[in-house]
Amino acid sequence: MHPITQAIRTQTERTGEMEHSSPLFLTSSFCFDNAEEMRAAFADENDDNIYSRFSNPSVKEFVDRMCALEGAEAGYATASGMSAVFASFMTFLKKGDHLVSCNAIFGSTHTVITKYLPKYGIEYTYVPANKPEIWKDAIRANTKMIYIETPTNPGLDIIDLEFAGRLARENNLILNVDNCFATPVNQVPIKFGADIVLHSATKWIDGQGRVLGGVVVGKEKMIHEIYLFCRSTGPALSPFNAWVLSKSLETLDVRMERHASNALYIAQQLEHHPKLSWLKYPYLKSHPQHAVALKQMNNGGGIICFELKGGLESGRKFLDNLNMFSLTANLGDTRSIASHPASTTHAKLTEEERLAVNITPGLIRISVGLEHRDDILADVLQTLDKC
């Protein structure tokens, strides 16, 4: 059975009401018929639900569907994408360990790596996302994990997952992949050697800007360790959010097809616009890692980025003159969204840090929505005329 079919048909066991759509298990805890059943549950002798911070049927359905799409043995859902990132670090890294990470990553992930991991005695080394040939030199005797985003946020660098998987195996390292931008219907990192894969489900997986959520999937033994960490520290996904996200997965494939086809069309129309210094989209031949994108992605995804001539002020003016686009701290929505990373999501980085990951003053990130492609393009063109 195809993973998409499997994900759609995976459901919580039907109750006596014979419902077609899965019910919402909005409860904090679960009851037992007798003391022995309760004792066995707390002794981990069965899989009975105890408390929704530990497990919940609505959350389990969402996780099972994600595992089907990612080809993973197991998974655990968290309250947000960042709680998934943090759990993936703190479960496997300890004082004295070393992390190798691509330097082009989400701003909050950068903060966790540079500000908080060192407080626990965990060292890190950033490597250029677009120069994998020098990654091996960053590995030390105490290195435990390689962490990557691909495509990267917001610069859309494409990291060769096959190369990263091979490098991790050769050095006995955990390969941890943020697959948020691609989604599991577009890219399956486990096929290339990833040990764990994480998502901010808030983005494309929800797809309508409604709820927060995160998820980590991968090898069963590793996910069990993440589960034990999260069970004690508490970043559990709410049953309601899980129910919403599970429903969203039923349309993820068709939504991403439309997002990607819209994005490719708009990228092609804008690629040589005189107001732009450059434009990047993975499925354009001009993208530096176009061949890698074709190898590991089913389409180019729903994000476009470009550099405006005129720098920081042009970036702000571009946003101010948009008519239809939303200006919001999110992406992956049915509605198109524009952002200016240098003044928003990556504003806390120094100018030197931003330039090191190609976040230039005039960089604009477009999350292409499901509106008609001509309307999206028209709004971009009219504001470019004013920049």
Dist CA 166 CA 173 (whole Å): 10
Dist CA 304 CA 263 (whole Å): 7
Dist CA 313 CA 308 (whole Å): 10
Peptide bond into 154 cis (omega under 30): yes
Q: Which helix (H) or strand (E) holds 279?
A: strand 276-280
55 in Cβ contact with 231 (< 8 Å)? no
Residue 260 CA neighbour count, 13 Å, CB half: 20
Q: Domain ends where: 249, 274, 290?
A: 249
> Which residue, chain included where needed, has tokens 């790596």?
113
Longest dimension (CA), the chain: 74
The verdict on 202 and 90 lying in the same domain is yes
User: What does DSSP assign to residue 191?
Assistant: G
Closest CA to 2 of 182, 127, 184, 169: 184
Q: Domain ends where: 190, 222, 249?
A: 249
Report the DSSP beta bridge partners of residue 100: 125, 146
Q: Which two tokens stand for residue 69?
A: 């799409």
The verdict on 300 and 190 lying in the same domain is no
The verdict on 264 and 230 lying in the same domain is no
Q: Which two tokens stand for residue 162?
A: 């096959």
Residue 45 CA neighbour count, 13 Å, CB half: 8
The verdict on 173 and 285 lying in the same domain is no
Provide the pLDDT for residue 183: 98
The verdict on 318 and 223 lying in the same domain is no
The verdict on 284 and 343 lying in the same domain is yes
The model scores a pTM over 0.75? yes
Q: How many CB atoms lie within 10 A of CB 231?
A: 16
The verdict on 308 and 202 lying in the same domain is no
The verdict on 245 and 256 lying in the same domain is no
Provide the pLDDT for residue 202: 98
Report the DSSP beta bridge partners of residue 51: 29
167 in Cβ contact with 195 (< 8 Å)? no
pLDDT of the chain, 387 residues: tens digit per residue: 999 999 999 999 998 889 899 999 999 999 999 999 999 999 989 989 999 999 999 999 999 999 999 999 999 999 999 999 999 999 999 999 999 999 999 989 999 999 999 999 999 999 999 898 899 999 999 999 999 999 999 889 999 999 999 999 999 999 999 999 999 999 999 999 999 999 999 999 999 999 999 999 999 999 999 999 999 999 999 999 999 999 999 999 999 999 999 999 999 999 999 999 999 999 999 999 999 999 999 999 999 999 999 888 888 899 999 999 999 989 999 999 999 988 877 777 777 877 777 788 899 999 999 999 999 999 999 999 998
Dist CA 133 CA 210 (whole Å): 40
The verdict on 139 and 168 lying in the same domain is yes
Q: Which two tokens stand for residue 54?
A: 């530990």
Dist CA 6 CA 290 (whole Å): 30
The verdict on 203 and 279 lying in the same domain is no
Q: Domain ends where: 216, 249, 282?
A: 249
The verdict on 151 and 17 lying in the same domain is yes
The verdict on 272 and 220 lying in the same domain is no
Number of domains in the chain: 2
Which CATH number fits the domain that encloses residue 290? 3.90.1150.10
Dist CA 131 CA 133 (whole Å): 5
Q: Which two tokens stand for residue 306?
A: 């470009």
Which CATH number fits the domain that encloses residue 139? 3.40.640.10
Closest CA to 175 of 68, 92, 84: 92
User: What does DSSP assign to residue 182?
Assistant: T
Which of left, alpha, beta for 337 (phi over 0: left; psi -120 to 50: alpha)?
Answer: beta
User: What does DSSP assign to residue 210?
Assistant: -
117 in Cβ contact with 86 (< 8 Å)? no
Dist CA 127 CA 173 (whole Å): 16
Domain containing 196: what range? 3-249
